[in-house]
């Protein structure tokens, strides 16, 4: 189990419970130049993209570049383009970002030129597209970024895939053409249903020859997760906890010592343990750092380490936290 971090491509063989969503996404991908996955926070969009969709596309012959907009969307786009063509030069990347701002079509021309040479087809994957709206206030940069994606999707050899929180979709209307062109490829990603969650919990365990004991623990956990939009990461967390306490002799895992533990209790215990593991002088900084990583709009913020160091008198302490 991956715990509280999203699935990545390396964990694709442990990603279960989204088969129907994956079939639907692939169908949209085939008939539309763009695919936009929308869903509530915590539903597992990033995991679905990186561990479900991208590996499947690669098996079908597509190559992929992935990025998050972050605070500098055009810089992110330039870095992704450089990774595709096999160059890594910071100065050239910054110059390329400036060029994309002045000439949004330059991104698609650069990529298409590379694809013509290699004979490949490419999916451009933009995860957490809401960062374009929450971390960037420069309307010129926002529009240049969406222009670059639109023009890339005009090429037969390029498809664009994006994921975005559902409560930010209406704000894409700042670029009406982008929203209209993306609309045919919109797919709502709902929380996994009970069968999907059961598969996500049991199939990675079964693949290694293990089983839950008692078997009822699976249904109890699913009952606790019922209706929770953040069910998938919580399930991965409690699965990781139970796996750590497995019985390798019997090849079983379940409630430790026969004591039932709720997911909320396990998560609270984990959080307390992380904080308790810090030096006492560093603990008050935890609240400040956690708040700094959330925007006023209740989305995650990307914070440079240097900014975190400025929050504390001791930079070593800040880095530890």
Q: What is the pLDDT of residues 39-85, one digit of tens each?
A: 988 888 999 999 999 999 999 999 999 999 999 999 999 999 999 98
Q: Are the C-beta atoms of 47 and 57 separated by less than 8 Å?
A: no
Please compute the mean of the pLDDT values over residues 293-300 and round it to a whole number: 81
Residue 258's pLDDT is what? 47
Sequence-distant (≥ 6) Cβ neighbours of residue 312 within 8 angstroms: 285, 318, 321
Tokens of 53: 């969709």
Whether a cis peptide bond, with omega within 30° of 0, leads into 46 is no
pLDDT in tens, 171-195: 887 788 888 888 889 999 988 899 9
pLDDT in tens, 266-290: 889 999 999 999 999 889 899 888 8
Residue 176's pLDDT is what? 86
- Pick from 39-43, 101-105, 144-148, 245-249: least confident: 39-43
pLDDT in tens, 14-30: 999 999 999 999 999 99
On average, the pLDDT of the chain sits at 90
| Sign of the alpha-carbon dihedral angle for 104, 29, 128, 68 | negative
Is residue 257 over pLDDT 70?
no
Residue 256's pLDDT is what? 55
Please compute the mean of the pLDDT values over residues 121-145 and round it to a whole number: 93
Tokens of 52: 């479900």
Residue 212's pLDDT is what? 94
Among 12, 29, 15, 1, residue whose Cα is nearest residue 186: 29
Residue 108's pLDDT is what? 94
pLDDT in tens, 230-246: 888 899 999 998 999 89
Please compute the mean of the pLDDT values over residues 121-146 and round it to a whole number: 93
Among 201, 98, 108, residue whose Cα is nearest residue 152: 108
Q: Are the C-beta atoms of 266 and 100 separated by less than 8 Å?
A: no
Residue 259's pLDDT is what? 54
């Amino acid at each position: 189990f991956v715990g509280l971090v999203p699935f990545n491509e390396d964990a694709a063989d442990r990603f279960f419970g989204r088969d129907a969503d994956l079939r639907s996404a692939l169908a949209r991908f085939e008939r539309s130049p763009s695919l936009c996955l929308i869903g509530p926070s915590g539903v597992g969009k990033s995991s679905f993209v990186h561990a479900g969709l991208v590996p499947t596309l690669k098996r079908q012959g597509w190559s992929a570049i992935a990025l998050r907009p972050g605070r500098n969307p055009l810089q992110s786009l330039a870095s992704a383009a450089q990774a595709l063509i096999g160059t890594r030069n910071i100065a050239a990347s910054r110059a390329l970002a400036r060029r994309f701002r002045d000439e949004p079509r330059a991104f698609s021309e650069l990529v298409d030129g590379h694809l013509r040479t290699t004979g490949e087809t490419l999916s451009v994957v933009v995860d957490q597209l809401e960062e374009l709206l929450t971390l960037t206030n420069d309307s010129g940069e926002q529009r240049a970024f969406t222009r670059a994606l639109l023009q890339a999707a005009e090429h037969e050899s390029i498809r664009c895939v994006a994921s975005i929180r559902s409560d930010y979709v209406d704000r894409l209307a700042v670029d009406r053409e982008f929203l209209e062109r993306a609309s045919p490829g919109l797919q709502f990603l709902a929380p996994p249903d009970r069968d999907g969650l059961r598969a996500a919990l049991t199939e990675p365990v079964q693949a290694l020859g293990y089983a839950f004991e008692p078997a009822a623990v699976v249904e109890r956990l699913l009952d606790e997760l019922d209706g929770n939009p953040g069910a998938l990461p919580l399930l991965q967390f409690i699965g990781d906890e139970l796996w750590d306490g497995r019985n390798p002799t019997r090849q079983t895992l379940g409630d430790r010592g026969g004591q039932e533990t709720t997911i909320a209790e396990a998560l609270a215990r984990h959080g307390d343990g992380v904080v308790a593991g810090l030096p006492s002088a560093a603990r008050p900084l935890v609240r400040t750092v956690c708040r700094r990583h959330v925007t006023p709009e209740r989305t995650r913020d990307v914070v440079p380490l240097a900014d975190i160091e400025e929050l504390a008198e001791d930079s070593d302490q800040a880095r530890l936290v």
